[in-house]
């Protein structure tokens, strides 16, 4: 443990990535404050951290703050040296108007950056995503790096990914024009897997569950970049601590991309009892295209079908000394969590 008197604000403390980041920060000796939308969530955070092996909560405190309101953001930043801005606006349904998702993402990011600048915070590390980097690159021979950007007007781009592109662009623009002494680094993760610290499972888990419980009768031709949540959390901290990360974005990719079929085959070899009900036959793309004409779920996955994106994690490894886990480790940790939290009946 590094003993430090430095304080880090982590936004959105109940989230999958945020809780792992809080756990690692506390284990490194940092003081941590986290924003939650309601104080009722405090016990949930304590429980998740206990599940992660933490016993000392003396360096953790909470503040109520929401990305859609100015309330408490200035107070949240008091005495903080760094901010990990991980929170993203939550939507329980897809909004009818895309601005309902885009505005809170953009405005929330600017709200955090302004409050951090005013409070004299040294650096903000912001979680963007791969959707802001590589969704306009469909040629499998093109290597996607941090220089790449998704065109927000890309056909078939989801509103969520569009909100991420626009929020990140707004953040860099703010820094160029009004950043003052504040520094910014951005992390762009691909598909986040790994161990869950509670039964509230993120979207990656949901997809894996459908693959394994037999509800997906045939497997679409979809490939994912995979990274372990523990490695993404560590990458945020490395980008926070390393002077060279100032003004940089970093792609968070573990062991490269895998198709859904390859994921199922891996689990069938490593943990056959967990994949007994999993299909192994491919779902022809023309069927998805036809179904997408009248089915929203098929329409939502269609932009991902048959797309192979090759991305590089070289920058994070070279500049920050990042050493991510293998895809196998990330995926098997996810399967174990599905079983542990009784999401997958085996």
Residues acting as catalytic residues: 164
Helix (H, G, I), strand (E, B) or coil at 211: helix
Q: What is the 3-state secondary structure (H, E, C) of 253-267?
A: CCCCEEEHHHHHHHH
Q: In whole angstroms, give the CA distance from residue 128 to residue 133.
A: 9
331 token code pair: 């995926």
Q: In whole angstroms, give the CA distance from residue 40 to residue 290.
A: 46
74 token code pair: 């200035």
- For residue 342, the tally of other CB atoms under 10 A from its CB is 9
134 token code pair: 């590589």
Question: Cα-Cα-Cα-Cα dihedral of 228, 231, 232, 233, to 10°?
Answer: 120
Q: In whole angstroms, give the CA distance from residue 342 to residue 62.
A: 30
């Amino acid at each position: 443990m590094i003993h430090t008197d430095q304080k880090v604000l982590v936004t959105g403390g109940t989230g999958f990535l945020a809780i792992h980041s809080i756990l690692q920060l506390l284990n490194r000796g940092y003081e941590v404050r986290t924003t939650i939308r309601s104080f009722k969530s405090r016990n949930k955070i304590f429980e998740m951290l206990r599940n992660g092996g933490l016993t000392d909560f003396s360096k953790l405190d909470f503040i109520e703050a929401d990305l859609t309101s100015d309330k408490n953001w200035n107070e949240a930043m008091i005495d903080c040296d760094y901010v990990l801005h991980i929170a993203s606006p939550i939507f329980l349904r897809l909004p009818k108007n895309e601005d309902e998702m885009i505005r809170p993402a953009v405005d929330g990011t600017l709200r955090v950056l302004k409050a951090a600048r005013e409070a004299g915070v040294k650096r903000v590390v912001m979680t963007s995503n791969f959707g802001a980097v590589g969704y306009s690159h469909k040629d499998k021979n093109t290597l996607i790096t941090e220089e790449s950007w998704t065109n927000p007007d890309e056909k078939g781009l989801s509103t969520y990914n569009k909100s991420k592109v626009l929020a990140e662009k707004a953040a860099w623009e703010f820094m160029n024009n009004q950043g003052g002494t504040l520094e910014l680094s951005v992390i762009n993760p691909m598909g986040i897997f790994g161990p869950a610290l509670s039964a509230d499972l993120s979207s990656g888990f949901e997809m894996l569950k459908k693959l394994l419980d037999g509800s997906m009768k045939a497997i679409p031709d979809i490939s994912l970049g995979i990274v372990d949540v523990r490695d993404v959390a560590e990458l945020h901290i490395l980008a926070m601590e390393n002077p060279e990360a100032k003004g940089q974005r970093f792609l968070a990719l573990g062991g490269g991309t895998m198709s859904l079929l390859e994921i199922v085959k891996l689990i069938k070899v490593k943990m056959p009892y967990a994949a007994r009900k999993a299909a192994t036959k491919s779902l022809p793309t023309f069927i998805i295209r036809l179904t997408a004409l009248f089915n929203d779920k098929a329409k939502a996955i269609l932009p991902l079908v048959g797309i192979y994106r090759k991305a590089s994690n070289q920058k994070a490894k070279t500049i920050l000394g990042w050493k991510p886990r293998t895809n196998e480790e990330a995926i098997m940790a996810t399967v174990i969590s599905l079983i542990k939290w009784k999401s997958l009946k085996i």
